Structures are given as structure tokens and as C-alpha cells.
Amino acid sequence: MDDPEERFTDLYDRHYRSVLGYALLRAERDVAEDVSSETFLVAWRRLAELPEPPLPWLLGVARNLLAKQRASRHRRQALVDRIAALTTARDQAGWDVAEHVVDREAALAALAALPERDVEALVFATWYGLPPEQAATVMGCSVRTYNVRLHRARKRLGQALRLGDGPRPRPRLLTTPLEDSHD
């Protein structure tokens, strides 16, 4: 594996999809793909210096390129908007099967109320399974700051979801006997 072409191909095959998966959360498809391709071009140029494991580093490069992208005429797209845009009927069906206490819309609404970086912290912890040191590398902050964001995100999301749990309308028969009078 000391052949750089082979090493790079392996890196690409292992991680391209993860990087593109992240970029798709921050940008439309064409821009996300361009950013992912650029990320790997940077990785090729710096192949000899890549840290181990390389994924957090790659995600960090993609994140920086996306930040530059947002400074351009592309309007920044909120993470939660992208999640909503990418959600399909299949996801909805999976959600319904899992019988969550809140519906998917409400969960997304709760997320939308959180600071963007807090949601991102959750993404790296939960969707990517990155330990705090690695997630902090991606986000370019200290491990302490990252942990604060993650903790805050979990707490607020939990609160929002519990709030959502309370006033949910209960089955009609038990709550509104008046409506039955028309039968």
C-alpha cells in the first residue's frame, strides 16, 4: 500500500460516500458533489500528511469548503431544511413503524429551534459515530466546546420532545364525548 495511487483510491472508496453524505446536508446536490471532489483533490495533494483516521480530517476540509461556498452567492441552507428536503415517504414509513411519541414533523420542528452547530454536533455523534476528539477536529473547535454543544443539543431536543409529548390529542373517543352526540 505504499503506492500513492493505490492508497488514494482506497481512501476514496472508503470515505467518498461519507463525505458526500455530509456535504448533501449543507448544499444542493451539484455543489455537494463538487465540494466532495475538491475535498479529495486536497487529500491527494496532502496524502503524505493525512492523519489517522482520515475521515474527521476529510469532513473538516469539506466543512471549510462549504463555509466558503456559503460566502458566495449561494444562500446558506439550514441543516434542518436539508434534512426535511431529503426526507422521503420511505423515511416517514420507517418513523411510523418505530412508534415514536412525536411525529417526524414535530421532531424536525424541535431541531429547527436549536443552534445550527448544536445540530451538527448531534449529526457527527449520532450519524457518524465520531468520538468527541474527532468530531471537534471536524468542527474546528476544542473538545470542551464540542461537548458543551452536544450536551446542550441533547438536552434541548429532549425537552422539546417531552413538551411535544404532553398536549398531544388523545384518541377521540376518550376525550370528546360531545362529538358523538350527532350519531
Partner 1 sequence: MTDRLFAQLRPGELDDLADDGYRRRRSADLARAFATPQVTPRSRRRPYLLMAGTAVGTAVAGLAAAAVVVVSGEPAQPPARPPAAAVPADARSFLLAAASTALREPAATGRYWYVRERTYMRVHTAPGEYAARIKALVDAQKRTEEQLKGDPGRLAAAQEEFRRKVTELKMNELPYTAFSADTRETWRPMRAGEVARTVSNQDVEVTFGSPQDEAAWRAAGSPELADRNQKTRDDAEERILSIDNPSLNLRNLKDLPTEADELGRRLDELWRQSPKESGADKAGYLWQTGVDLMTAPLRPGTRAALFRVLADQPVMKLEGRVSDSLGRTGIALSAPTQHSFTVRLVVDESTAELLQYELAVDGGKVGLRVTLEDLGWTGSLDDRPAS
Name the minimum Å distance from CB 99 to partner 1. Answer: 11
Q: How close are the terminal C-alpha atoms of the chain, in Å?
A: 77
Smallest gap, in angstroms, from Cβ of residue 163 to partner 1? 13
Q: Would you count residue 148 as binding partner 1 (CB under 8 A)?
A: no
164 sits near partner 1 (criterion: CB under 8 A): no
Distance CA 92, CA 95 (A): 5
Size of the site for partner 1 (CB under 8 A): 64
Residue 167 Cα to chain centre, angstroms: 28
Q: Is 154 in the site for partner 1 (CB under 8 A)?
A: yes
Minimum Å gap between C-beta 142 and partner 1 is 22
Residue 13 in the binding site for partner 1 (CB under 8 A): yes
Q: Evaluate whether 128 touches 18 at the Cβ level (below 8 Å).
A: yes
User: Does 163 participate in binding partner 1 (rule CB under 8 A)?
Assistant: no
Query: What does the binding site for partner 1 look like in residue numbers (CB under 8 A)?
Result: 4-6, 8-9, 12-13, 16-18, 20-21, 24-25, 28-38, 40-42, 44-49, 65, 68-69, 72-75, 77, 83, 86-88, 90-91, 94-95, 98, 100, 104, 107-108, 111, 122, 125-127, 154, 157-158, 161
